[in-house]
Chain A
Amino acid sequence: MREFDYARADSPRQAVSTHGESEQAAYLAGGTTLLDLVKIDIMRPDQVVDINRLDLNEIETLDDGRTRIGALVTNTALARHDRIKNEYAVLSEALLSGATTQLRNKATTAGNVMQRVRCPYFRDGVSSCNKREPGSGCAAIEGHNRSVHAVLGTSEHCIATHPSDMCVAMAAIGATVAVEGPDGQREIDFLDFHLLPGDAPEREHALKPGELITHVTLDAPLENSRSRYLKLRDRASYQFALASSAVIVTLDGDTITEARVALGGVGTKPWRAHEAEAALKGQKATEATFQKAAEIAMQGATPYAHNAFKIPLGQQAIVRNLTTLTAQEDRRTS
C-alpha cells in the first residue's frame, strides 16, 4: 500500500505540531471521507494525524446562549442531543437525512464540515478536475452533471456541490468554526468557511495549512422560532440532496418577522440565501410570498445539461418548507 506516517495525538496542540503545515498531512476523525478517498487513491496523505483521542466530544450551552459542539461529536450524537432536537430542530433533521446510521455513527462534526465533493470526475482519478489536479480543467461542465452538480456558485472551473446536509442547517442557524493552528487559535464565521470554487477550486475552505477544527459554535437559537430541513432526492434515503432547504422562521400572527434560509444540493457551498430572507421578512406568510422568495433565492442560477431541474426543485424545497413551517403549530409553545 502507499505508506504514510500515522500518529495519534493527545492534545490539539500536539496534533497541530505533528501535522505541521504540509499539504500532504491529514487529520483523521471518523474517516468516512478520508479513508474512502485514500482507498480509491484520490487523497494520498504522507502523514495521518489521528485526533480521535482528543477531548472534543462535548456539546455545551454557553452563557450567551450559543451551543458549542466539539469537533469529534458524531453526527448521531449531535442529531440525538436533546438541546439540538429542541432548539435546533433543523440541524437534527438535516443530520438524520444524511448518509446511513452506520456512517452517522462514525462521521464527526468537524469531518462533516470538511466533507469532500461527490463529483465522479473528481473521484475517478482520470478525468480533468481542477480540484484534484489544478489547471487540468473541469470534465463535469460538459459531462454528466445531473445529481451532484450545482447551479449556484459555480464557475467555469468547477461545478461540484458541497454534499453536506449538516452544513446547510449550520449555514441557516449561523455559527463560527473554532480552529487551532500553528499560529494559535482563531474563529471563522461559518459562512466564510467554505469557499466558492472561483478560479481556484482546489481551495475549498478558509483553513490555513495545519489548522485543526476544534469546535463549531452555533449561534443562539432565534427566540420563538420554528425550523425544519427538507431534502429532495430520487430515493427516500441514502442519497445526497438534489435540492434541500434549511429554514428557520419566527412569526407574529401570520407575518414573518425573521427568516433564515439555506440551500443544499444546488450550491458549490452550503448556500445561505440572504436576499430570499429579506424578501420574506415583514411579509405575510402566503404562498405568493414564498414563491417570490424562492425565485429570488435561485436568481442567477446557471443550469447545466442535466441539472436544470434543480432550479425549480430548489424553489420547491423553499416553498414547501415555508408552507409546512408556517402552517404548523409552534411545537415549543404548544
Chain B
Amino acid sequence: MSDSIIGAGPIGSGPRRIDGQRKVTGAAPYAADHHPDNMAYGYGVFSTIARGTVTGLDLDAARQSPGVIDIFHHDHFPELHRSPASFAQGNKVEETRLPFEDNHIYYEGQFVALVVADTFENARAAARKVSVSYKSSDAIANLDQGVKAHGTTSGSGNHERGDAAGNFDGAAHSIDVTYTTPVETHNPMEMHASVASWEGDRLTIFESSQGVVVQRNALAKIFGLPPSHVRVESPFIGSGFGSKLWMWPHAVAASAAAREIGRPVQLVVPRPQMFTTTGHRPETRQRLRLATDESGRLVSLRHESINTTSFTDQYVETCGSVTKSLYSCPNLLVSHETTQVNRGTPTSMRAPGAAPGLFALESAIDEMAHEIGVDPLEFRMNNYADRDESLDLDFSSNHIREATEKAAEKFGWQDRNPEVGSMREGHEIIGYGMAACNWEALKRECEARVSLRADGTAFVTCATQDIGTGTYTIIAQTVSELTGLPLEKVTVRLGDTSYPAGPVSGGSWATATTLPAIAAATREAIKELKGYATSEKGDFKDVDSDSLTFENGQLTHDGQRVDYVDVLKGQRLASADGHAHTKGADDKYSYRSFGAHFVEVRWDPGISNLRVARVVSAIDVGRVINSMTARNQVEGAIVMGLGMAHFEATEYDARNGRPVNNNYAEYVVPVHADQPPEVEVILLDYPDLAFNEFGARGIGEIGITGMAAAVANAVHHATGKRIRDLPIFKEKLMENVPDVPSA
C-alpha cells in the first residue's frame, strides 16, 4: 500500500473532538446515566478485613430496611461459571474469581454482599445494616511481607541473551541498585458502573468499559450464553487508564442480581472500593545491575523485578519489557516474579510494565553515567540499540536519537552544569534530568462498517471505544479523508457490541488497529457505490467501475461528475455499505515508539518544596493523525508521570492490609496548580508505513514512560539525593528528619 491515504484532507490536522460538545453540555450518557424502566439499585457490602472467611451474615435489620428487594451473598447467589480469562479467546478478566463464589476473603474491599433496593439511598442504608462476622487471619499487607511469607513465583515476559552474570564481575564499571514503586490507583473520574437488564435470556449491560467485546464474551461465558445474547454498551467513558480494560466483579454481581430479581439493576462502585476491587498498578521491587567497559558501552544488563499480585490471580507487571531492546547489550537478563499479598488483583495501568520499569531502568542509566563521569545524554547516545536485539529484528522505524537531540536542544541541555546543586535561582536549586521513553507498537484485528448514505452522510460503526482520547474524531477524519465528506457529515458510533467487533481501547493500539479497518470498509463502500453507478440503471453504466474516481462526494469519469447521493437516490437505495475485517501486526519488524523527556525541577530547601518547572518531550510515534488530540495525550501523560514521580501512592496499613488514603483528598494526583509552567511536546511525525498504511503507531501510553526517572534524575542533579523509592516525597529530600522506627 502506498502513502496514498494522506491527501489534502483532515488526516494530520488538529480538529476538535467531534464528541466534545455532547460531553461538555451533559448530553453524552455515561453508564450510570442510564435508567431503564423499573430499575433497582445495588449497593455493595465490602469486606473490612483483608484475609479470612465470612462466618456469618446478620441480614435481619437490612431486610427490614425500607425498599429492600433482595440481598445477595455467598449463600444466596446463582451458580455461575468462571470465564477462562483468555486474551486470545477475547474473554479475559483480570480477577477470575466470581463475586460471592464462596466465603473466602482475599482482600479488604471485596464484595461480601449486594443489597438491591428500590432507590440508591435505600440500598446504601440497608447495606450499612448488614452485619458481617469474620474469622480473620494475619494479612499479607505488602511486598516485603509477601516475599518473607512465601517467596516469589516466576512470571512471564522473561528474556535472556549472552551471559549477563559472567560479564558483570570484572567489568570496568558497574552498579547494583534496587528501586521500588508503590501501588498506584487509576482513579478515573467516572466510577466503574453497570446497568444490567434482562429480556428472557438476553442480557444488555451499560458499562464504563474500555473493551465492550471482551466484556460481552466474558459475560457470555459466565452466564453460559451465546455471545449474541449479550450486549454491552459503553459509548462514553469518563476515562479508565486501564482499570476498565477487563470486567470486574461488580458487573457480574449487577447482571446476576438483575436476572434474579427480574428488574434492571444499577450498581456503581463507590470511590473507596475503586482502590480495592477494580484493579491497581502493583507494588514493585526492581534490582538493576549494569556494567560497562572502559569506553562506557554496556556489557551486562540485568533487570529483575518482583511485583505484588493477589491470592486469586497472577498479574505480572512486566517491568523489564523495554529493557530488552532499548539499549544495545550482548549480555542481558530480564526476569519477572510475583508475590501474593492480600490486595485485589492488579491490572494494567497506563503503560503497564514500562512506567515502573523505565523509572528503574532510566534512573539506573543516569546512575551509571554519573558513575563513569559521562553526560547521561551522551551515555544514552552511545548505547541506544539500532536494532531489536531481543527479537533479532530491525525496528520498523526508530528515531530516538533525533528525538533525544531535538528535545535536548529545545530544552537547553547544553546549559546544564553537571555539578550537583550548582544551578540556583532565588531560594531554589535547579535540577536538569532526562530519560528515554519507549512503548511497544501494537495492532490487533478489527472489523468495521461504513455506510455512505443517500442523505449525504456517512455512518460508521465499530465496537471499539473512545475513552476520551479522540477515537471518534480520528475515525471521522479517516472517512472524511477518503470520501471528501466534511467531518460534520460523518456520524461515528462506537462502544456497542451490536457493531462489528473492534479492539479493546488499550495498549495504545486503538489508532493503528481501527483506522485500517475503517479505511478498508470505506473503500468497500465506495466500491459498492461504483458498482451501483456502473450497473444497468447507473449513471455510468458503460464505464468500467475501476476507472471511476470518487472524490469530494462525487463520482467522476471523463469529465462527467455525479454526486454520489444522486447515484443512490436514482436507484432508490438507502446506502452503499462496506464491511472490513483487518488483521493484526505481522512479525517482520520490531514495532516500537520512542522518545525522550527533559525535565527541570526546582527544589526549595528552605520550605522543602519540589516542583516540576519545565518539561520538553520529543516523541516518535509514527504519523500523527490528529495533532490536537495527540499532543493532548502526551501532555496528559507527562502530568500523570510527574504525579507518579512525586505524589502518587496508595498507602496500606502494614498491620492489616487496609488502604488508608482511598479518596481524592488524600490520594494525591497533580491538580492544575501543579502543571509545569512550560510543557513543550515535539511530535516527530515520521510515518511508519511498515506498520500500517497510516504510518501511525499510537500515542496513549508512551508519554508517561520515563517521566518519573527524568524527574528523579533532575532531583539528583539538584540535591545530590538519589531517590530509588517512589514517590519522591519531600521528607526523602529533607535533612534533619528525626528517625522514628515503624511500630
Contacts and interface: CB of A to CB of B under 8 A. Distances in A.
A308 B737 contact: yes
Interface stretch (B7-15, B122-130, B461-469, B473-481): B122-130
B665 interface: yes
Given A2-B125, A142-B743, A235 B734 contact: no
Contacts of A148: 666
Interface residues of A, number: 40
B738 A308 contact: yes
Interface string B301-341: 00000000000000000000000000000000000000000
Contacts of A126: 48, 658
Interface string B44-84: 00001000000000000000000000000000000000000
A297 to B, nearest CB: 15
A309 B665 contact: no
B740 A303 contact: yes
Contacts of A237: 671-674
A147 interface: yes
B668 A144 contact: no
Contact of B740 (A127, A308, A323): A308
Interface stretch (A249-257, A269-277, A311-319): A311-319
Contact of A313 (B121, B652, B661, B734): B734
B736 interface: yes
A319 B607 CA distance: 9
B606 interface: yes
B642 to A, nearest CB: 10
A305 to B, nearest CB: 5
Given A305-B741, A316-B606, A235 B668 contact: yes
Contacts of B607: 230, 232, 313, 316-317, 320
A235 B673 CA distance: 8
Interface in A141-166: 141-144, 146-148
A62 to B, nearest CB: 36
Contacts of B128: 2, 41
User: Which 10 residue pairs across A and B have the least CB separation, nearest first?
Assistant: A142-B743, A309-B731, A236-B673, A1-B121, A237-B673, A120-B660, A1-B125, A308-B738, A126-B48, A305-B742
B665 A239 contact: yes
B16 interface: no
Contacts of A124: 658, 660
Nearest to A240: B665
Contact of A312 (B654, B665, B736): B736
Nearest to A148: B666
Contact of B647 (A1, A235, A313): A235
Contacts of A304: 740
B653 A144 contact: yes
Secondary structure call for the A interface: loop
A242 B674 CA distance: 17
Nearest to A321: B607
B734 A309 contact: yes
B614 interface: no
Given A120-B666, A320-B606, A312 B734 contact: yes
25 contacts: A1-B121, A2-B128, A41-B128, A126-B658, A139-B653, A142-B743, A146-B729, A147-B661, A234-B646, A235-B670, A236-B611, A236-B671, A236-B673, A237-B671, A239-B665, A242-B730, A305-B740, A305-B743, A308-B740, A309-B608, A309-B737, A311-B737, A312-B608, A313-B730, A320-B606
B137 interface: no
B133 to A, nearest CB: 14
Interface string B119-156: 00110110010000000000000000000000000000
A238 B667 CA distance: 11
Contacts of B668: 234-235, 239
Interface in A105-123: 118, 120-121
B651 interface: yes
Greatest chain B CB density within 10 A among A1, A143, A146, A316 is at A1
Contacts of A239: 665, 668
A111 B742 CA distance: 36
B735 interface: yes
Contacts of A143: 653, 655, 660, 743
A306 B134 CA distance: 30
B743 A118 contact: no
Contacts of B655: 142-143
A313 B608 contact: yes
Interface in B659-696: 660-662, 665-666, 668-674
Contacts of A316: 606-608
A45 B27 CA distance: 37
A248 B121 CA distance: 48
Given A126-B658, A144-B651, A235-B647, 12 more contacts: A1-B122, A120-B662, A121-B660, A124-B660, A235-B673, A304-B740, A305-B740, A311-B737, A312-B734, A312-B736, A316-B606, A316-B608
Interface of A: 1-2, 41, 118, 120-121, 124, 126-127, 139, 141-144, 146-148, 230, 232, 234-240, 242, 303-305, 308-309, 311-313, 316-317, 319-320, 323
B136 to A, nearest CB: 12
Given A305-B740, A308-B739, A309-B734, A232 B609 contact: yes
A307 B55 CA distance: 38
Nearest to A143: B653
B689 to A, nearest CB: 43
A317 B672 CA distance: 23
A319 B672 CA distance: 28
Contacts of A232: 607-609
Contacts of A313: 607-608, 730-731, 734
A91 to B, nearest CB: 21
A139 B731 CA distance: 23
Nearest to A232: B607
Contacts of A242: 730
Contacts of B735: 312
A320 B608 CA distance: 11
Nearest to B655: A143
Contacts of A118: 665-666
A154 B668 CA distance: 25
A242 to B, nearest CB: 8
Contacts of B654: 144
Nearest to B649: A146
A235 B740 contact: no
Nearest to A317: B607
Interface in B637-657: 646-647, 651-655
Nearest to B661: A120
A27 B712 CA distance: 48
Contacts of B672: 237
A117 to B, nearest CB: 12
A43 B661 CA distance: 19
A118 B647 CA distance: 18
Nearest to B742: A305
Greatest chain B CB density within 10 A among A139, A144, A148, A311 is at A144
A41 B272 CA distance: 13
A144 to B, nearest CB: 5
A303 B647 contact: no
Interface in B89-146: 121-122, 124-125, 128
Interface string B702-743: 000000000000000000000000000111001111111111
A242 B202 CA distance: 54
A76 B48 CA distance: 38
A169 B660 CA distance: 29
A311 B738 CA distance: 8
Contacts of B48: 126
A238 B743 contact: no
A316 B736 CA distance: 12
Contacts of B662: 120
A305 B647 CA distance: 19
B730 A235 contact: no
B457 to A, nearest CB: 40
Contacts of A309: 608, 730-731, 734, 737
